[in-house]
């Protein structure tokens, strides 16, 4: 069954004709029952498609969770492995996923951040969900792991993506473990460090003479061409499955809080997909009876230099006006976020907000988190911590409530942001020199 769709690429927001590979009706992706359009509700069978054939709206995974008993499900999860596959009954993956070769990401630490709480004046309990503990040190391992299972289910033999950073490493590593070919597309003029991280896993790495937008446009073309046959682009034709990986952040946070919803959660916004899926995950836990049904607020965090969703939120708009990114938070620098309108809905529905911070505030927040909790975050972590501080100062975030802040990446990947950091003192190797420096 070849489904012909004209699709709005969630990654590139370009419109292009897409021929989907055929999806067998016997595809086993566990509880995933179909893809359904987030706009019009139209359902199609599971397959490598990402846009509604009726209205071009984004497709997402719909599940059949009927027959789940809350107590039995909780016991099953708790007896599962210390990674995302403990939640396999809630993800678009086959039941035996934990036995297949993959990076087994997740079950990262939820750090009780008492020192940071003191500095920020949070009295209701402050936690940092630290996703730098994933195998390639960003939350991308969660989403790529879902895309990998979808790729296997659809018979794809090459795992691909366009990327300027974290995603390239996550795809390269996951494909290596799984024994698939990988082919990652990057702008040809990326910094050498990022090129090394993308290339070290031995897959094909293709530099494209052009901007990141050119890279995305090229990938969309390739999906529609015979040359792209058998290729799974994790964030394009596998995007509905890929995106579901972010639900595991919600599951883990609640389980690590003792099967309890946080009152407030601060999430970074790039495309906005992560925030919408965290909301989806929380609502699923409520519907399944795994957590008590009570209100929670979701806050979105952006860098001022790429703050289209924050700007729309503050202006009271429903539509997000694209921006040209100019910020050190490169992993959040998507000027035209596909899920922006959904993020606005969620922030407003839950009583949250969307806020942004300057590059200087991002750097300050990276240092604050490192100094108080020993967590070295990438710039995206500086954004969430900085926005949390700003929201408290502005009286928007309630410091008497339980609050979870996401760190989605690792400071080792964005060393430049804190490059000015140096020694407190330089001394001669003598006790006199040490005393003179006033360090005793």
Within 224-283, the residues that bind a second copy by CB under 8 A are 225, 227-228
Q: Is 360 in the site for a second copy (CB under 8 A)?
A: no
- Choice between 134 and 276, CB closer to a second copy: 134
- Interface with a second copy in residues 111-150 (CB under 8 A): 112, 114-115, 130, 133, 135-137
- How many residues contact a second copy, by CB under 8 A? 82
Least distance (Å) between residue 245 CB and a second copy: 16
Q: How far is CA 436 from the centre of its chain?
A: 48
Task: Give the number of other Cβ atoms within 10 Å of residue 240's Cβ.
Answer: 27
Q: Tokens 């989907």 — which residue?
A: 20
Select the residue interacting with a second copy from 169, 268, 308, 340 (CB under 8 A): 169
**Which part of the chain contacts a second copy (CB under 8 A), choosing from 278-286, 339-347, 398-406, 416-424?**
416-424
CA distance 377 to 409: 6
Q: Is 200 in the site for a second copy (CB under 8 A)?
A: yes
Tokens of 438: 């006033």
CA distance 295 to 297: 7
- E strands, 59-165, where? 59-63, 110-112, 126-130, 158-162
**Which part of the chain contacts a second copy (CB under 8 A), choosing from 23-31, 37-45, 88-96, 368-376?**
368-376
Select the residue interacting with a second copy from 77, 199, 288, 392 (CB under 8 A): 199
Select the residue interacting with a second copy from 217, 280, 389, 390 (CB under 8 A): 217
**Which part of the chain contacts a second copy (CB under 8 A), choosing from 167-175, 268-276, 345-353, 399-407?**
167-175
CA distance 126 to 280: 22
Select the residue interacting with a second copy from 375, 383, 387, 397 (CB under 8 A): 375
Tell me which DSSP letter residue 41 carries: -
Least distance (Å) between residue 231 CB and a second copy: 9
Give the dihedral of Cα atoms 319, 392, 334, 370; nearest 10 deg.
-170
Least distance (Å) between residue 119 CB and a second copy: 12
**Which part of the chain contacts a second copy (CB under 8 A), choosing from 53-61, 260-268, 354-362, 372-380?**
372-380
- Choice between 2 and 440, CB closer to a second copy: 440
The string of DSSP codes covering 343-391 is HHHHHHHHT--EEEE-HHHHHHHHHHHHHHH---B-HHHHHHHHHHHHH
- Choice between 197 and 343, CB closer to a second copy: 197
- Choice between 195 and 288, CB closer to a second copy: 195
Binding flags for a second copy, 69-88, as an x/- string (CB under 8 A)? -------------x------
- Choice between 56 and 259, CB closer to a second copy: 259
Report residue 398: phi and psi, to 5°.
-90, 110
The string of DSSP codes covering 199-237 is HTT-SEEEEESS-HHHHHHHHHHHHTSGGGTTEEETTTT
Select the residue interacting with a second copy from 13, 14, 19, 109 (CB under 8 A): 109
Q: Can you name the residues that pair with 111 across neighbouring β-strands?
A: 128
Select the residue interacting with a second copy from 2, 79, 315, 440 (CB under 8 A): 440
Select the residue interacting with a second copy from 28, 53, 119, 214 (CB under 8 A): 214
Q: Is 91 in the site for a second copy (CB under 8 A)?
A: no
Select the residue interacting with a second copy from 10, 52, 183, 236 (CB under 8 A): 183
- Interface with a second copy in residues 5-64 (CB under 8 A): none
**Which part of the chain contacts a second copy (CB under 8 A), choosing from 66-74, 201-209, 261-269, 290-298?**
201-209
What sign does the CA torsion over 182, 45, 343, 255 have?
Answer: negative
Length of the chain: 440
- Choice between 61 and 205, CB closer to a second copy: 205
Question: Are β-strands 354-357 and 126-130 bridged in parallel, bridged antiparallel, or unpaired?
Answer: unpaired
Q: Is 295 exposed, middle or buried (0-12, 13-18, 19+ CB in 10 A)?
A: exposed
- Choice between 36 and 162, CB closer to a second copy: 162
CA distance 268 to 76: 31
Nearest to 373 by CA among 127, 110, 113: 113
Tokens of 214: 């050119």
């Amino acid at each position: 069954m070849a489904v012909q769709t004209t699709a709005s690429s969630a990654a590139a927001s370009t419109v292009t004709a897409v021929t989907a590979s055929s999806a067998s009706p016997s595809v086993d992706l566990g509880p995933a029952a179909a893809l359904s359009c987030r706009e019009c509700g139209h359902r199609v069978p599971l397959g490598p498609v990402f846009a509604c054939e009726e209205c071009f709206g984004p497709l997402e995974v719909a599940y059949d969770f009927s027959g789940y008993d809350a107590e039995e499900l909780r016991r099953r999860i708790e007896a599962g492995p210390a990674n995302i596959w403990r939640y396999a009954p809630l993800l678009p993956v086959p039941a035996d996923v934990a036995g297949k070769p993959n990076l087994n990401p997740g079950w990262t630490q939820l750090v009780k951040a008492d020192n940071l709480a003191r500095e920020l004046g949070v009295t209701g309990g402050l936690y940092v969900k630290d996703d730098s503990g994933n195998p390639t040190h960003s939350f991308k391992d969660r989403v790529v792991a879902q895309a990998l299972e979808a790729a296997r289910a659809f018979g794809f033999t090459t795992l691909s993506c366009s990327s300027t950073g974290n995603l390239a490493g996550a795809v390269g590593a996951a494909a290596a473990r799984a024994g698939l070919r990988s082919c990652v597309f990057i702008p040809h003029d990326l910094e050498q460090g990022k090129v090394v991280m993308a290339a070290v896993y031995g897959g094909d790495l293709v530099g494209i003479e052009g901007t990141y937008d050119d890279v995305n446009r090229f990938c969309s073309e390739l999906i529609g061409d015979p040359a792209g046959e058998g290729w799974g682009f994790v964030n394009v034709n596998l995007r509905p499955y890929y995106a579901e990986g972010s639900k595991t952040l919600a599951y883990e946070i609640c389980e690590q809080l003792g099967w309890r919803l946080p009152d407030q959660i601060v999430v970074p916004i790039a495309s906005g997909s992560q925030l919408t899926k965290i909301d989806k995950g929380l609502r699923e836990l409520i519907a399944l009876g795994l957590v008590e049904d009570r209100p929670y607020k979701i806050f979105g965090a952006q860098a001022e230099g790429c703050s289209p969703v924050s700007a729309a939120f503050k202006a009271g708009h429903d539509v997000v006006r694209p921006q040209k990114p100019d910020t050190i938070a490169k992993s959040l620098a998507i000027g035209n976020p596909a899920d922006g309108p959904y993020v606005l809905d969620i922030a407003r529905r839950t009583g949250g907000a969307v806020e942004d911070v300057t590059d200087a505030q991002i750097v300050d927040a990276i240092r604050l988190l490192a100094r108080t909790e020993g967590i070295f975050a990438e710039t995206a972590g500086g954004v969430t911590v900085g926005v949390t501080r700003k929201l408290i100062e502005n009286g928007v975030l309630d410091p008497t409530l339980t609050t979870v802040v996401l760190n989605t990446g690792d400071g080792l990947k964005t060393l430049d942001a804190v490059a000015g950091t140096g020694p407190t003192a330089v001394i001669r190797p003598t006790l006199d020199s040490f005393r003179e420096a006033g360090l005793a």
